[in-house]
């Protein structure tokens, strides 16, 4: 099987994630007792807060809140911090996790503005500034599109927010775990991540990291949900302070712990190595797709990174050693069917983890030159759903359709057709890209021939 649907969820998990989940499954409920097992659970929860906070540049563990998924976290922020004349600003590239909560508050009379997130950096910033009116109290927008190559100039947009006194929260669902991010250095007030995508954890947890300003705002705003918190049981309302104020009910400890495991793996390998691996796959796939007549790429209008690898960095198609171009292929040999490891990931020479500095608009690894976004394509004359199903029958997993992002598809012009999305993880190999391209070319040709034959009957 070849799995290229990592934008939905990563399938192959590193050993550190499996260890963390296994350990959490043997722990008790955090904050629900003083016995040994409950305290083990509490320690896992606190240690994960600390790990997440340090990795993403939070002020401390109490600036990290856990939800049941990223969508819940985004709903909480949007519905807590808007109301009356306090409106929200989003982009025209948003996932439904932002679009639908924003439309929900809009239908209750809350001002809603939408800026153009699909254009050059200057066009995006100009549209953002124009839409950042006096009635906007909160800006919620993506870091990276979940359907195409759009990456917003986060630092410039958060600077505009600060000048207007507007809180900014970034949906990092497609960026987290793929490139170094720091809340302090971006100037954002909040990051939101899911556990199961680039961070390589299991599904079931969403993460909200807050700045001091956002922490204060959330602590002073009414809650949107209430329930058990493990403390202050006789109080009528949720505890006043974060994170407990937003963590109603029992946290999904195995999913939360899996995030710490994913971060441990990322820091062991290093972002440089992870991004290098994905970049090779990305360029290889783009080159191959461009060589197939009738395949159309979408959402690439403002993107110029294609084929930036030198010829010496590219791998000849059909290379027998699929991992030979990588610095440490042994770190990525774990498959979904492997048993739970008993030791650590094998040691070896890997790129040292470090945060990349941010300066002005030149953010994220030379303007994300090494960061690989989703690839979206359609096939002329063939139904995308049928082609995707045929590829699935051949053992190739892709996602076709509208990807819970109708606003983004409308913006880039694929609102009628949708598209087929390819998204990688560091566990994918160049040989898998080669097999995918060969299979796609063969099956597309066969389907197109069949369609042509049916029309002539």
What would the two tokens of residue 425 be?
């993880």
pLDDT over 70 for what percent of the chain?
Answer: 83
Assign 9 a pLDDT band (cuts: 50, 70, 90).
Answer: very high
Is the pLDDT at 299 greater than 80, yes or no? yes
Cα–Cα distance between 54 and 307 in angstroms, integer?
35
Mean pLDDT, rounded, for 405-433:
96
- CATH 3.40.640.10, domain 15-264, yes or no: yes
Comma-separated ranges of CATH 3.40.640.10 domains in the chain: 15-264
Q: Residue 368's pLDDT is what?
A: 42
Q: How many CB atoms lie within 10 A of CB 390?
A: 18
pLDDT for 373 equals 83
Q: What is the dihedral of CA 391, 393, 395, 396, to 10 degrees?
A: 20
Strand, coil or helix: what is 77?
A: helix
Confidence of residue 371 (pLDDT cuts 50, 70, 90): low
Tokens 């030149």 sit on residue? 362
Q: What is the CATH code of the structural domain delimited by 2-9+270-456? A: 3.90.1150.10
Average pLDDT over residues 191-197: 98
Cβ neighbours, 10 Å, residue 139: 27
Average pLDDT (222-231) is 92
Q: CATH 3.90.1150.10: which residues of the chain?
A: 2-9+270-456
Q: What is the pTM of this model?
A: 0.86
pLDDT given for residue 301 in this prediction: 63
pLDDT at 347: 31
């Amino acid at each position: 099987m070849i799995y290229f649907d990592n934008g939905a969820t990563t399938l192959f998990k590193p050993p550190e994630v499996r260890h963390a989940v296994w350990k959490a499954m043997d722990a008790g409920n955090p904050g629900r007792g003083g016995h040994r097992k409950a305290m083990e659970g509490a320690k896992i929860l606190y240690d994960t807060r600390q790990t997440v906070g340090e990795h993403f540049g939070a002020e401390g563990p109490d600036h990290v809140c856990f939800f049941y998924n990223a969508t819940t976290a985004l709903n909480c922020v949007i519905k807590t911090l808007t109301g009356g004349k306090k409106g929200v600003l989003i982009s025209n590239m948003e996932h439904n996790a932002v679009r639908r909560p924003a439309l929900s508050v809009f239908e209750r009379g809350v001002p809603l503005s939408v800026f153009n997130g699909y254009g050059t950096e200057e066009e995006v910033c100009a549209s953002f500034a124009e839409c950042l009116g006096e009635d906007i109290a909160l800006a919620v927008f993506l870091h990276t599109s979940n359907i195409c190559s759009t990456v917003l100039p986060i630092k410039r947009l958060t600077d505009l927010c600060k000048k207007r006194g507007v809180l900014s929260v970034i949906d990092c669902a497609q960026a987290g775990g793929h490139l170094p991010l720091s809340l302090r250095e971006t100037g954002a007030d909040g990051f939101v991540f899911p556990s199961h995508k680039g961070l390589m954890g299991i599904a079931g947890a969403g993460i909200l990291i807050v700045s001091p300003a956002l922490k204060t705002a959330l602590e002073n705003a009414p809650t949107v949900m209430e329930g058990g918190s493990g403390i202050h049981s006789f109080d009528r309302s949720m505890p006043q302070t974060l994170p407990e104020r937003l963590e109603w009910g029992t946290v999904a400890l195995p999913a939360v712990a899996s995030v710490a495991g994913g971060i441990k793996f990322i820091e062991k390998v290093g972002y440089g190595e992870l991004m290098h691996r994905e970049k090779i796959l990305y360029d290889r796939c783009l080159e191959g797709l461009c060589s197939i007549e009738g395949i159309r790429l979408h959402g690439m209008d403002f993107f110029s990174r294609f084929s930036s690898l030198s010829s010496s960095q590219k791998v000849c198609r059909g290379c027998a050693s699929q991992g030979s171009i990588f610095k440490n292929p042994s770190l990525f040999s774990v498959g979904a069917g492997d048993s739970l490891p008993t030791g650590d990931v094998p040691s070896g020479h890997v790129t040292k983890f470090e945060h990349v500095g941010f300066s002005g608009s030149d953010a994220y690894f030379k303007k994300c030159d090494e960061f690989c976004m989703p690839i979206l394509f359609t096939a002329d004359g063939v139904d995308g759903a049928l082609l995707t199903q045929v590829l699935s029958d051949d053992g190739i997993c892709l996602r076709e359709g509208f990807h819970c992002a109708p606003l983004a598809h409308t913006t880039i012009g694929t609102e009628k057709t949708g598209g087929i999305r390819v998204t990688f993880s560091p566990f994918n190999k160049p040989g898998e890209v080669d097999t995918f391209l060969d299979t796609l070319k063969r099956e597309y040709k066969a389907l197109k021939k069949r369609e042509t034959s049916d029309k002539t009957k």
